[in-house]
Amino acid sequence: MKRIGIFVCHCGTNIAGTIDIARVIEEIQKFPEVVCALDYKYMCSDPGQQLIRDHIRDDKLDALIVAACSPAMHETTFRKTAATAGVNPYQTEIANIREQSSWVHQKQREAATNKAIETIRTIVAKVHYNQSLVPFYLPLVKRALVIGGGIAGMQAALDIADAGYPVVLVEQSSGLGGRMGQLSGIYLNFEAAPDLLSQTIEAVTHHPNIQVLTNAEVTQVGGYVGNFTVHVEQRTPEPPEPASATGVVPGNPVSYSFDIGAIVVATGYDLYRKERLGEYGGGRYPDVIDGLQFEAMLRRDGPTGGLIRRPSDGRIPKEVVWVQCAGSRDPELHMPYCSKVCCMYVAKQAMLYKRQVPEGQATVFYIDIRSQGKGYEEFVQRAMTEHDVLYVRGKASKVFQEDGRVKVWGVDTLTGLPVEVEADLVVLATATVARSDAQELGQRLRISMDEHGFFNEAHPKLRPVESLTAGVFLAGAAQFPKDIPETVAQASAAASKVLSLFSQRQMVQEPTIAYVDPEICSGCGLCIPACPYEARTMHEWRHIAVVNAALCQGCGACTVVCPNKACQVRNLTPVQILAMMEAYL
């Protein structure tokens, strides 16, 4: 015999406004094993929880039911309340009489009251069979993998490594730095990106806790949070001497395997290919280039030694036009979203151009200026007022070559007139897009992507640096376009998520998951494809199904397919479900 206490919450008028609480109390008192039934205005409040604790003590309860809102709201709250009063938390159940009764039957007092009573009746039947459970503890590997050696990956790696944990940093190309390594001076102070990066690269390369693998790719990811197994392949760089002399066969990759506890994905972005912007003559005219090509021109170590020269004939361009939103904010033909960084880097590029070619004319076609950031708006204003950059508010419609000159057509929406500008050089601020190989990596990591190929965060507001896969975190433009300070902030946030995971001694897992009775399991294997979390495997030699407790989410798909009920979810067994059905019918 159990001693069950039932606590009915009014939720102000959310429940009590519709449901006849007095009649509910009167009816549920009659249910078997129910020792007490009480109601209170807000059961989740401190006095409400104290009421529960008091009755656990006075009535010697060993199980309780809270008839209130959805378990998604307060199941954890009341299980903690039970635990503090000495009742096993898994002997506590919620009867949802708000979302599933009072809210959806607001004008039907009688029916809603009856439904609440029946809901509680079924939960009483379930609780009768509830077992006292304890959580699992799983081992936790305190080593992080960071994928991508740009500023995002390096920042995350440094933060984790500085806290004392080992980090494996995998970079696809031959060096660290990523996209930031391709930039010239950065906004707002024109500091040279290579100088800024060199300190970070130095710190990463020489950090005792960071193992850097360049020319390397993550080829396989298995396991789960705290216990990933990651395979990395590193291409051997071309040996400077003949292969026979060094003994290294070029192109023969070296394989590594790591045990990893958490993964930070910082794989960055691509630029929308300018060849896809036929209306702007991208890829057709040599003097139509993209933003990164202009950055290369501005770098002392770039192809022009830092001098702005147009590609066709090497002359100094006297008239340069920047086309903003080239491929962005264009749902019909290109990408629908704002690429976020273009307004700022175009202002910076135009200013750097004017510094180098003061007599030149810089013209920017824009739809809106989006300069939200500390000092950003003032920076753009300086481009206009101090550097005489001409901002034309309107989208460029067409870039073409005629009579040997590149011309830009657009509209000035402030005057309503069409504009034609003859240009020596046109810079397309092409859209920032997801990397072409992001999907492949996403599948390997089992993390989801949005319709544009950017990795999805777990929640757009409250969990912006976590993926939906436990233990995999996101940093930088692989999640969505963002500039350097935002990228660094997100990278540090991802690192802190890794550190909070690593600060646990072990990993805790809810016990309300599936288990297999080895005496009954026939080894049919039906549960393996049924499991959406890949938590099921066949035991190597016992020929029965086994549950990976770290991956199981307790969804119950396996119990449905199991022909002889060898597989059950703890505290949601077939016996309990049938008892609930019987109570209800």
Q: Which residue has the tokens 């970079």?
A: 171
Q: How far is the CB of 428 from other proteins (least distance, A)?
A: 14
Question: How far is 377 from 355, CA to CA, in rounded Å?
Answer: 20
Detail the DSSP E strand segments found in 62-122.
Answer: 63-68, 92-96
Per-residue burial over 332-355, b = 16 or more CB atoms within 10 Å of its CB, e = otherwise:
eebbebbbbbbbbbbbbbbbbbbe
The tokens for 294 are: 């202009």
CB closer to other proteins out of 355 and 398: 398
CB closer to other proteins out of 75 and 424: 424
Residue 441: cis peptide before it, omega within 30 degrees of 0: no
CB count within 10 Å of CB 437 equals 13
The distance in angstroms from the start CA to the end CA of the chain is: 23
Q: How far is the CB of 278 from other proteins (least distance, A)?
A: 3
CB closer to other proteins out of 333 and 520: 333
Identity at 282, one-letter amino acid code: G
CB closer to other proteins out of 61 and 396: 396
Backbone CA torsion sign across 389, 395, 401, 403: negative
Q: How far is the CB of 287 from other proteins (least distance, A)?
A: 14
3-state secondary structure 527-544: HHHHCCCCCEEECCCCCC
Torsion angle, alpha carbons of 77, 83, 84, 87, to 10: 130
Q: How far is the CB of 403 from other proteins (least distance, A)?
A: 6
Q: How far is the CB of 412 from other proteins (least distance, A)?
A: 17
Angle, nearest 10°, between helix axes 109-129 and 574-584?
150
Report the candidate in 436, 429, 449, 454 with the shortest Cα–Cα distance to residue 328.
Answer: 429
Question: How far is 422 from 406, CA to CA, in rounded Å?
Answer: 6
CB closer to other proteins out of 403 and 519: 403
Q: How far is the CB of 332 from other proteins (least distance, A)?
A: 7
CB closer to other proteins out of 174 and 415: 415
Contact criterion met (CB below 8 Å) for 567 and 243: no
Q: How far is the CB of 232 from other proteins (least distance, A)?
A: 41
Q: How far is the CB of 195 from other proteins (least distance, A)?
A: 41
Question: How far is 585 from 582, CA to CA, in rounded Å?
Answer: 5
CB closer to other proteins out of 318 and 405: 405
CB closer to other proteins out of 64 and 406: 406
SS3 category, 160: helix
Detail the DSSP E strand segments found in 318-389.
Answer: 319-326, 361-366
Q: Which residue has the tokens 């003097």?
A: 287
Q: How far is the CB of 427 from other proteins (least distance, A)?
A: 19
CB closer to other proteins out of 333 and 560: 333
**Residues in the site for other proteins, rule: CB under 8 A?**
278-279, 284, 332-333, 398, 400-403, 407
Contact criterion met (CB below 8 Å) for 357 and 349: no
Q: How far is the CB of 367 from other proteins (least distance, A)?
A: 20
CB closer to other proteins out of 279 and 510: 279
